Amino acid sequence: MEHQELLPNLFRTEYQKIVSVLCSLFGIQHIEIAEDIVSDTFLTASETWSIKGIPENPTAWLYTAAKNKTKNYLKRNNVFETKIATEIKHSTPLNNPEIDIDLSDQNIADSQLAMIFTVCNPCNSEEAQIALALNLLCGFGINEISDAFLSNKEVIYKRINRAKEKLKEENIKIQNPSNSEIKDRIQTVLKTIYLLYSEGYYSISQNTTLRKDLCTEAMRLTYLLIQNESTNLPQTNALMALMCFHSSRFDARTGLNGEIILYEDQDQSLWNQELIDRGTYFLSQSSTGNTLSKYHLEAGIAYWHTIKKDTIKKWENILELYNNLIILEYSPIVALNRTYALSKVKGKKEAIKEAEKLNLTDNHFYYSLLGNLYSEIDSKKALQHFETALGLAKTVSDKNVISRNIEQLQ
């Protein structure tokens, strides 16, 4: 591989590993120093490799370079010595003459886990947590993050910096969470990772590669949690299963021009069977203990959707899962999906009665659902509902889907 391709790939995989290790070593107050050292390491790599060629083991080369740069930095910088060195000494054995920068697999994994829990700290808003996660845990640059959020760079830059400042103000420790901390905080961590995934999966950004990257990164972080014994919990596996099932349809759900292809119209041959199998595996791993998280329910629903054939058993199961999900936590979109499942089990007339009780009159999906339910019963009413939906829809792809529904009725 040419280094033009190699370096960006290594950057994606190694940047956050080294940053995590250095951040864990330096503490949250010096997070920028860690980032600077690692950025500088990659810059040096880029310069050196283009002259001398790619080293035999590029990753090891990067680790050695990062270690040396860190040691040099510590020697050179007096401010750093007096300020941080004392902090570091607390955590390293006193008889150790030199600070050990441990880039072993185990320490990388531990540091990454510590960083995940630091980044997903509820002292920052969810939006800020996601941006920070992309930056610190996934090695995404400001450009990519602003692309993903469809926001401008300035806004993202400020958001990330404010989030870092907040972590410093609150003096959040970067350390491996204890079991009781994990129990308290795993919900927040999983939620942030799921939001990160959804950002990629549902984003209206046309940049498919970037969106896929977000999904992959969310899955990588979840896998990291699974690999660590203390965070390998039933709900972590359930979230992983859910993401595998969703991702299995990634290629089938958008057309050549980026338009959304609805589930019923998807080409099943584009579904990724390997991911479905992985999802099934994680779903079975999740069914231990007695916690039934919303990820279990959502993964269950997603599992039934990997079976394309419409059977009453399939929809009865989906309805049951949606019932449990909506009872656990109200959300308009779950309410609408539940009603759709109800129409598959009890028929459209029964579902219309239920749908009309939902009263989600500012939601275009609500009118799309009513339009869909009325389609074979009263096409005039169906048309009215779809037109209301069209008026409320904001994104081009949503409008296109509704317009297609209207065309089919006419």
Which residues make up the interface to other proteins (CB under 8 A)? 319-320, 322-324, 326-328, 330, 334-335, 338-339, 342, 354, 357-359
- The HSE-up count of residue 351 (CA atoms within 13 Å, CB side) is 24
Tokens 């990772």 -> residue: 193
Report which residue type is found at 157. Answer: Y
Residue with Cβ nearer other proteins (77 or 187): 187
Write down the least CB distance from residue 349 to other proteins, Å.
Answer: 15
Give the Cα separation of 138 and 220 in Å (integer).
9
Q: Which two tokens stand for residue 346?
A: 């009890």
Residue with Cβ nearer other proteins (302 or 318): 318
Write down the least CB distance from residue 363 to other proteins, Å.
Answer: 13
Secondary structure class of 126 (helix, strand, coil)? helix
Residue with Cβ nearer other proteins (94 or 327): 327
Write down the least CB distance from residue 391 to other proteins, Å.
Answer: 24
Residue with Cβ nearer other proteins (303 or 366): 366
Give the Cα separation of 409 and 53 in Å (integer).
63
Write down the least CB distance from residue 310 to other proteins, Å.
Answer: 19
Report which residue type is found at 348. Answer: K
The three-point CA angle 159-161-167 to 5° equals 105
Name the CA dihedral angle for 42, 44, 49, 52, rounded to a multiple of 10 degrees. -160
Residue with Cβ nearer other proteins (308 or 349): 349
Give the Cα separation of 267 and 256 in Å (integer).
13
Tell me the Cα Rg of the chain. Answer: 25
Write down the least CB distance from residue 344 to other proteins, Å.
Answer: 13
Residue with Cβ nearer other proteins (142 or 319): 319
Write down the least CB distance from residue 162 to other proteins, Å.
Answer: 33
